[in-house]
Amino acid sequence: MTKRLVNRMMAVCIAFVMIIPSSSAKEGMWIPYLIGQLNADDMASMGMEISAQDIYDVNQSSLKDAIVHFGGGCTAELISSKGLLLTNHHCGYGQIQSHSSLENNYLQNGFWAMNGKEELTNPGLTASIVKYMNDVTNEVLSGVIATMDKEQRAAKIRENVEKILADNEGEYELEVKPFAYGNQYILIAKEVFKDVRLVGAPPSSIGKYGADTDNWMWPRHTGDFSIFRVYAGTDNKPAEYSEANVPYTPAQHLKVNLMGAKPNEFTMIYGFPGSTNEYLPSNEIAFIINEYDPARIAVRESLLETLDKKMRESDATRIQYASKYARISNAWKKWIGEVKGMKTTKAVERKQKLEREFTEAINKNDDWKSQYADVLPELMKLYDDRKPLMMQRYMFLETMYYGNELMRHLYGYRKLVSLYEEDNTEALETEAAKKAESLAGFYKNYDSELDEKAMKALLPVYLNAVSTEGASELLLKLKAMDEVTLNKYVTNLYAKSMVIADPEKWSASLKDNPKKAIKTLLKSDAYQLASASWTNFIDVINPQTSAYEVKIEELQARYMMGLKEVFPQRPFYPDANSTLRVAYGKVEGYKPMDGVQYGSHTYLDGVIEKYIPGDYEFDLPEKLIQLYKTKDYGIYAEGDKMPVCFIASNHTTGGNSGSPALNGRGELIGLNFDRTWEGTMSDYNYDVSLCRNIMVDIRYVLFIVDKFADAGYLVEEMDLITELPKEEAAAEEVAP
């Protein structure tokens, strides 16, 4: 990197902050503390009534104090002064499941604590609240000079980051995060609460209504919510679980608005989106559409088919595999929508057009030309060259990692094997005992017959993808086998695997004689295949992918910098990276295809229309049907109807699950939990005509809590808004 480039990086970083998007920007996930400079006017023009400081402020309380990173993967929000926390059912699923047994099946029947004593603890679950975010780009890049090579540069950055962390050490947990491929660095301080208790969850027939069939789909009728409570020490600071802990008093909690949101009304989503890739060049987008997604879809299709067959035959297998099936089918279905959406919105052509405009613009300006002329061609070449490697990588992950449980389980013995090889008896004994303890969790939801079938379907796919270059002797031997021989090999591998042959015996031998256990394990076909495939991934595929990543990252950073410089009027926002962001848009339906127009709201009538008694996806609790028949909706009704879900044009992604949907006054009107299928390509190519996020209406949530579960005491904790603001009410009255 040239010196000029480093200087320019600094200049553009600063310019980052000053670019004002001109048009109404529904696309984007914006950094909260920059909203005042970047988005506030746009948001106001769309109907936001509060200020940027109301959204994010470090000097006084603001909405940000109510937004929680839930367990690192989802979002949640504080909705009472007593630490009451709202998130999705699918975000609390693991906790609800862990408290469930055959006698107390909370997944099936729901769970409601009727007072604080009945709440359930969840070891390991955290709730983090951002205290402040500071731009530290200059500090991180300080002393990074042109003559440095990549390693020196990375080392200098690491050193600077260490210093920043040390300088800011105090009561909060700190982290320095790169944004926009390292064009910008932000220091984030957060309070991490560790005592988070389960308060309530509806039965899956409400919280997961429609399950996999309705997943990613609109119109939707799922009450995807669960309720927790954050506890703190008596000083209101994070504390490990203790009976002496008290409900946390947040600096701010959300007000709950029961008036709903009409089409075209302003909404925003405040949360922790996980990851997007909005600045990829056209060739990589084409690879995703034509190669990566289809290959991954095909593997999962074959796996899901195998699972489905057995799950239909056996109740036991269905219970064991429900959660695994949901996980595998979630991405599978998303990718299908993604490919479709990229094709309908002509994502490749769109990126090509941008690339042409960029190239034309830089060619007219000598300064830009010298800075950026190499960027796109080099970046695209890197993506071209990386393609075969990516296919290998994806195929390993899909077939042997996500696709095979025995292999994945065996990858977890690496530590034991290395202790055995080091002849470290003491540590081996401790670790083996731990492993033996943990085995029950694996066996509980494992069906080896099914796993063997999956292996027979997927091993040939894996072997076909593995490159002969760098492949071990075993992999080469298997690659050369014909179908029948390979099938026999798998049958034999499963038949002789001691890990699955007799769980009790295997546990006992790990505890009693770990040396002998590992020695026999090492000789097994199963472990040898696990070892060969894992080693190939770690020693052959990974180093090559990392080498590409370093180069790609640098060029992506320069490409984004160039785009910003060349098109200062266009909105550029950093890709999602699991940090706090705000997305905003409007409540609106969409046209999924020619001749079809979707509305923006669904109602309980639609839930009842989908009802299939006894079905595992569309069954309903009797009580809900009764409430529907008697129209017993309390204060939560809209006229004589019960609202259930709605959609809006907020730019969201995975991780935004559980995020609050706020109205123009910053009041809670819904709970984000999904996107529409036609719009899942928004991770690469947001298109306002098709991309919608899906939310549960907060009135449905409270109706279920109050009328269905009789846990109205929870609603009493909340600050409810049950009337329109005076001006709006007056306007409605005079309206014809």
Which residues are catalytic, by number? 90, 224, 657
Nearest distance from residue 690's CB to ligand ARG, in Å?
16
Nearest distance from residue 127's CB to ligand GLU, in Å?
16
**317: closest CA among 616, 621, 618?**
616
Token output for 653: 């992604």
- The 471-500 site mask, x for binding ligand GLU (CB under 6 A), equals ------------------------------
| Amino acid identity at 140 | V
Q: Which of 216, 534, 590, 636 binds ligand ARG (CB under 6 A)?
A: 216
CB atoms within 10 A of CB 502: 11
- What is the DSSP secondary-structure string of 249-277? --S----EETT---TT-EEEEEE------
Query: Binding partner of residue 211 among ligand ARG, ligand GLU, none, CB under 5 to 8 Å per kind?
Result: ligand ARG
Measured CA to CA, the distance from residue 701 to residue 646 in angstroms comes to 13
**Residues 651-690 within binding reach of ligand GLU (CB under 6 A):** 652-657, 673-675
Residue 50 DSSP SS3: coil
For residues 638, 644, 650, 651, the Cα torsion angle rounded to the nearest 10 degrees is: 180
**Residues 619-638 within binding reach of ligand GLU (CB under 6 A):** none
**29: closest CA among 694, 692, 573, 726?**
573
Range in contact with ligand ARG (rule: CB under 6 A) among 211-219, 429-437, 442-450, 584-592: 211-219
Q: Cα(first)–Cα(last) distance of the chain, in Å?
A: 65
CB atoms within 10 A of CB 165: 14
Query: Binding partner of residue 649 among ligand ARG, ligand GLU, none, CB under 5 to 8 Å per kind?
Result: none
**Residues near ligand ARG (CB under 6 A), total:** 10
Query: Binding partner of residue 221 among ligand ARG, ligand GLU, none, CB under 5 to 8 Å per kind?
Result: none
Query: Binding partner of residue 653 among ligand ARG, ligand GLU, none, CB under 5 to 8 Å per kind?
Result: ligand GLU
**Residues 203-222 within binding reach of ligand GLU (CB under 6 A):** none
- Closer to ligand GLU at the Cβ: 500 or 662? 662
Per-residue exposure over 384-413, b if at least 16 CB sit within 10 Å of its own CB, e if not: eebeebbbbbbbbbbbbebbbbbbbbbbeb
Range in contact with ligand ARG (rule: CB under 6 A) among 209-217, 421-429, 444-452, 591-599: 209-217
- Closer to ligand ARG at the Cβ: 299 or 555? 299
> What Å distances lie between residue 381 and 376, 549, 551, 552, 576, CA to CA?
8, 13, 11, 10, 25
Query: Binding partner of residue 655 among ligand ARG, ligand GLU, none, CB under 5 to 8 Å per kind?
Result: ligand GLU
Range in contact with ligand ARG (rule: CB under 6 A) among 43-51, 101-109, 208-216, 422-430: 208-216
Measured CA to CA, the distance from residue 301 to residue 303 in angstroms comes to 5
CB of 492 within 8 A of CB of 525?
yes
Task: Please compute Rg for the chain using Cα positions.
Answer: 27
Residue 678 interacting with ligand ARG (CB under 6 A): no
Query: Binding partner of residue 215 among ligand ARG, ligand GLU, none, CB under 5 to 8 Å per kind?
Result: ligand ARG
Query: Binding partner of residue 659 among ligand ARG, ligand GLU, none, CB under 5 to 8 Å per kind?
Result: none
> What Å distances lie between residue 106 and 93, 103, 651, CA to CA?
10, 9, 33
Q: Which of 57, 77, 674, 687 binds ligand ARG (CB under 6 A)?
A: 674
Residue 654 interacting with ligand ARG (CB under 6 A): yes
Measured CA to CA, the distance from residue 496 to residue 439 in angstroms comes to 18
**Residues 297-326 within binding reach of ligand ARG (CB under 6 A):** 326
Token output for 37: 């400079």
* Residue ranges that bind ligand ARG, judged by CB under 6 A: 90, 211-212, 215-216, 326, 330, 654, 657, 674
* Residue ranges that bind ligand GLU, judged by CB under 6 A: 652-657, 673-675
